[in-house]
Chains A and B, each alone.
Chain A
C-alpha cells in the first residue's frame, strides 16, 4: 500500500509556476528525500503535503485517502522545522504536550507519551527547561520529540539540520537514520544538501525549477543521472563534464581526450550504445574517483592545483579544454605544476547530449 502519492500537483502564484506537475509515489516505511537548490519548489511541495498550502491542481494521497481538503491537523502528519519552531514561552514538557492537549488526550496518557518520547531521545533532564536555555542540538531533539509524540502516519522534516554546526549535523543525521530504522515510519525529508540526501534516503527526488529531474534510489541517481543537472548536483566534488566527439578507431567506438600533448583514444563500453552516433558531439560525464594514476596508457595532464583532504587528494587539471577534478590516493599524488598520467575508467562513464542535456547512455 502506498503511504504517500502525489499526482500531477501544480502550484502557481499569479503567473509564476512554482511546481509544474509533480508525481511521486512511495511505500509505507520509505524515506523520501526532496533535494534541490534554493527556489526549486521543494519547500512548497512539503507545505502542500502538510496542508499548509493548497495545490493549484492535482491530488495528494496520504495512506488511502485524498487529503486535498483535509486540514493539516487531520492529516495524521507531524513536522520538524528548520528553525525548530518550538513555542518560546513553554518549557520542553509543555511543548511536547501542546499538541496532545489540543487533541484532548487524557492527562495520564500524555504523561506516558512524554516519558516514552523523552527517553527515546534522551531529553528527560531537559523537560523543565525553556527553549531559550537549550543548545541547537537539544532544540532539534525536542522538535523531533514533539513530532514523535503524535505517532503519525507521515513525518515531514523541513531542512532540520541546516542550522546545526558541521559535527552536530553528522551526529543528528545518524540519529535520524537510526530513528527511522527503529520506528519504520514513512518520512519525507527536504534538504538542499546532497550528502544528506544520499546518506538518508531510500528514494530521492531531485528537483529544479518546479520539475522533478529524477526520482530513484540514491545509487541509481549517483550512477545513472538522468541529465546534466542531476549529475552535477549529486556528488561532491561534482561530476566532470568533458566535451568530446564519438570516434571510431579500429572498429571500436570511443572518444579522444587531450590534456597536455597529443589526444589519446579511449574505447567506450558497449553498454553506452553509441552506434550510429559517430562524429556527433557528446558530453562525457566522469566522476572524480573514476580517474586513476598510471605510468602508461593514460593521458598526460598538467596539474594546476592539488587539494589534499586526508584520505584522498584532489587534482585540478584540464581535459579537452575543460577544468576537471580527479580524486587519487595521496601516496602517489603529484605536486602542482607537474605532469601526470591519468587513466579514465570508462566502465561507469555516462554520456549526455549537449543540446538536450539528457543522458544518452
Chain B
C-alpha cells in the first residue's frame, strides 16, 4: 500500500521501523538467554572446575551428577516441597476463601491481611521465619520463657525436617493469594444455586464439594499453574531460610546448582544439573505451549 500512494522514504520507515526497534531486545535475548543456554549446555560436557575450560569429557558430569547423593536429596526435596506446598497452599487458601465467603463483617480488612504476605519478597519471608523458627530465638524460646520447658520445635535445625520449614514459610506467603483467586471465583457463583441446594437438602460441605468447587475448575487450573512455577523456581526462600542446610538437607535443585557452579568450583557439574532442570521445565511447558499454539492457529 505504501508503495502505491506513500512516498518511498515513508514506506521504508514504515517497513523497517518495527524491526529496528525490536532488534536490540531480540539480539540481547538471543545472546543472553538462548546463547548462554547453549554455552551452558556445552559446559556440561566439559571438565570445567572454577573457570570454564573446553576439555570435552562427554557424559562424565552427568554420571557424576546421578551418582551424587546431594543431587538426589535436592530432587527428592523438590518433589516433596512442590506437592506439599501446592496442596497445602491450595487447601488453606480454599478454606479461607470459603470462610470469607460466608458474608462476614470486616471482610475487606481480613482479605487485605491475608493478602499482605504476597507483597513481601521471599528473602524477607525467609529471614522472618528463620527468626521465628530458630529454637534459641523464636517460638521455642517463647514457650520456654512461658514455662513450657519440655516444648521443642527444632525443625529448622533438624536435617530430617528442615525442608518442611520451607514448606511452611512458602505456604504462609502464598495461601492468601490462592484465597483471593478462589474468593473471586466464589463471588461469581449465583447465590440462588446455594439456596436451591439447601432446599434440596444438601449440607454446607456437600454444597461446596459437589456444586461450588466443581464450578471453579478454571480457577483451580490457573492457581495450579502459578503455584507450580513458584515451586520449581524456588531459590531465594531456601537461601534466606535454611541456606540449604543443615548440611544439604533442605537443598533444592536450584540451590544445588548455585552451590556447585559458584561456590564449590564444580562448574561442569552445576551446568549438568541446570540442564536437568531445563529439561524438567521443558517437559512441562512444551506440551502446554504446543496445545496453546495449535488451538490459536486453528481459531
Q: Which residues of A contact B (CB under 8 A)?
A: 47, 50, 52, 72-73, 77-79, 81-83, 85-90, 98-99, 102-103, 146, 158
User: Among B7-15, B197-205, B224-232, which stretch is in contact with chain A?
Assistant: B197-205
**Contact at A85–B206, with CB atoms within 8 Å?**
no
- Which residues of B have CB within 8 Å of A77? 199
Q: Is the CB of B192 within 8 A of A83?
A: yes
Residue contacts A-B, CB under 8 angstroms, 21 given: A52-B195, A72-B198, A73-B200, A77-B199, A79-B195, A79-B196, A79-B199, A81-B196, A85-B195, A86-B193, A87-B211, A89-B211, A98-B197, A98-B200, A98-B202, A99-B199, A99-B201, A102-B202, A103-B201, A146-B196, A146-B200
Cross-chain contact A85 with B201 (CB below 8 angstroms): no
Residues of A close to B292: CB separation below 8 A: none
The interface bits of chain B over 181-194 (1 if a CB of A lies within 8 angstroms of the residue's CB, else 0) are 00000000010110
The answer, among B199, B210, B214, B217, for a CB contact under 8 Å with A73, is B199
Question: Other CB < 8 Å A-B pairs besides A73-B199, A85-B196, A103-B201, 4 of them?
Answer: A52-B198, A73-B201, A73-B202, A98-B210
Complex alpha-carbon distance, A88 and B200, angstroms = 15
Q: Mark B228-254, 1 if CB is under 8 A from A, else 0.
A: 000000000000000000000000000
Return the chain B residue nearest A77 by Cβ. Answer: B199
- B215: Cβ under 8 A from any A Cβ: yes
Return chain A residues, CB-CB under 8 Å to B210.
87, 98
Question: Which A residues are CB-close (under 8 A) to B192?
Answer: 81-83, 85, 158
Q: Which residues of B contact A (CB under 8 A)?
A: 190, 192-193, 195-202, 206, 210-211, 214-215, 217
Question: Which 3 pairs of residues, A with B, have the shortest CB-CB distance?
Answer: A73-B201, A99-B200, A85-B196
**Who on chain A is nearest to B198 by CB?**
A72
The residues of B that contact A89 with a CB separation of less than 8 Å are 211, 214-215, 217
- Chain B min CB distance to A78 (Å): 7
- Central interface residue in B197, B199, B217, by most chain A CB within 10 Å: B199
Tell me the smallest distance from the CB of B51 to a CB of chain A, in Å: 59
In the complex the two chains form, is B190's CB within 8 Å of A83's CB?
A: yes
- Residue pair A102, B196 in contact (C-beta under 8 Å): no
Q: Whole-angstrom distance between the alpha carbons of A90 and B192 in the complex?
A: 16
Query: Closest CB-CB distance, B199 to chain A, in whole Å?
Result: 5
B211 adjacent to A85 (CB under 8 Å) = no
Residues of A within 8 A of B193 (CB): 85-88
Is A102 touching B195 in the complex (CB atoms < 8 A)? no
Are A72 and B199 in contact (CB-based, < 8 A)? yes
In angstroms, Cα B208 to Cα A89, docked, is 12
Task: Establish whether residues B190 and A102, one from each chain, have CB atoms under 8 Å apart when the complex forms.
Answer: no
Option from B190, B202, B215, B217 in Cβ contact (under 8 Å) with A85: B190
In Å, the complex CA distance between A306 and B155 comes to 87
Query: In the complex, what distance in Å separates the CA atom of A50 from the CA atom of B211?
Result: 20
Q: A79-B195, A81-B192, A82-B192 are in contact. Are A102 and B215 (CB under 8 A)?
A: no
Which A residues touch B198, using CB under 8 A?
A: 52, 72-73
Chain A residues within 8 Å of B206, by CB: 102
Q: Which of B196, B198, B201, B214 has the most chain A CB atoms inside 10 A of its CB?
A: B196
Bound state CA distance, A81 and B199, in angstroms? 11
Q: How far is the CB of A152 from chain B (nearest CB, A)?
A: 9
Residue on B nearest A143 in the bound complex, by CB? B196
State the CA gap A88–B190 with chains docked (Å).
10
Name the CB-closest residue of A to B214.
A89
Complex Cα spacing A140 to B217, Å: 25
In the complex, chain B residues whose CB is within 8 Å of the CB of A158 = 192
State which of A47, A78, A82, A87 has its C-beta within 8 Å of the C-beta of B197.
Answer: A87
Q: A85-B190, A85-B193 are in contact. Are A78 and B211 (CB under 8 A)?
A: no
Chain A residues in 8 Å Cβ range of B190 = 83, 85
